[in-house]
Structures are given as structure tokens and as C-alpha cells.
Amino acid sequence: MKYLVRDRIFGIGDDYWIEDENGHHAFLVDGKAMRLRDTLEIKDPAGRVLVTLREKALSVRDAMTVERDGQTLATVRKKRLSLLRNHYRVALADDAGAAAGLGAGPGAELDVTGRVLDREFTVEHDGEPLARISRKWFRTRDTYAVDVVRAGADPALLIAVAVCVIRIAERERE
């Protein structure tokens, strides 16, 4: 299933609908204003919060957390030594891999590799693609797709990972 995400909409106070490939509202992104750290909530169409994205405070390297029900689900940060390509590591909480439909055990990690700033990258677990992020399907430069390729994977988590990686890469570029 592909989810269409508009670029540059993830700012403080911004709200935006992410649509599925059939044009239906799938997720509402709610940018929380008046917070000390960047905070975004991804909600279902009924308004229930599925995941919360937060900038990690007091981190040596840029990092963001993905939370569900007040518990950290994943921590996203750039891999220390990645010379040729953008490479990010997503550390899942002990029970997050199984809960997210990834079949991952305690301490599991996701790898994110590709050209993040070009919106051409992949999220993988143990070499198996979970999602492909790409602009190649669109004529307009302000939209990219998060194509969830693994059946049963949590699309809200994978969209959150993509958004976190892009935000970290853009901060690094600045």
C-alpha cells in the first residue's frame, strides 16, 4: 500500500492528511505548537493518536523518538560511519518489533539507506524491505510515497520513521 505524503508540511502547528493510493484519508499529521521540542502526532481518521514523533532533547547526535501510548517505540538516528550513502539506524524497543507487525525480537533494529534528501530510500529489517520511499511516482516535487511492501507491517510506524529520517537529514544539511 502506498501512502502519499506532502513534503515541507511537517512544521510546528501544521496539520495535514496523508492519503492512501486510492485517495482516501489514511492518517492526520498534527504538528503541535507551543512545545519546547518538535512534536508531531500521527492520528487515524477518527482522531486517535497512533504515534507521536519527538525531537530527542540533549542528544549528542540528532535523534528523534517515535512513541505510542507514552512509551518509546523506536529511536531514529544517523549511523556514525556512513561514507557513501545516507544510513540511519532505528532502534526498536524490546516489544516494538512484534507489536508493529515486523516479526522482530528484543533489541531489533531497522536500517534506512539511500538518498534521503532526494526522497529515494528504503527501510529494511535483516535485509528484508519493509518500505520504499520515493518521489519517482509523482510529477510534483512536493509529494513522495511511502510504499509499505511487507504485509502486516505497521504503516504509521514506517511513515513516522520516514518523517524522522528526513527531518534529521535536513537539519544536518543546514
For residue range 7-35, list pLDDT tens digits in order: 765 555 568 889 998 999 999 988 765 45
- What does the chain come to in residues? 174
Q: Whole-angstrom Cα distance, residue 54 to residue 95?
A: 20
This prediction's pTM: 0.87
Which tops the pLDDT comparison, 90 or 103? Answer: 90
**Three-state SS sequence of 62-101:** CEEEEEECCEEEEEEEECCCCCCCEEEEEEECCCHHHHCC
132-164 pLDDT per residue, tens: 999 887 666 678 999 999 988 999 999 999 999
The three grid cell numbers given for residue 65, joined into one nine-digit string? 523518538
More confident residue, 65 or 37: 65
Q: What is the pLDDT of residue 84?
A: 57
- The string of DSSP codes covering the chain is -EEEEETT--STT-EEEEEETTS-EEEEEEE-SS-SS-EEEEE-TTS-EEEEEEEPTT-SS-EEEEEETTEEEEEEEE-S--SSSEEEEEEEPTTHHHHTTS---TT-EEEEEEEGGGTEEEEEETTEEEEEEESTT-SSTTEEEEEE-STT--HHHHHHHHHHHHHHHHHHH-
Q: How confident is the model at residue 3 (pLDDT cuts 50, 70, 90)?
A: very high
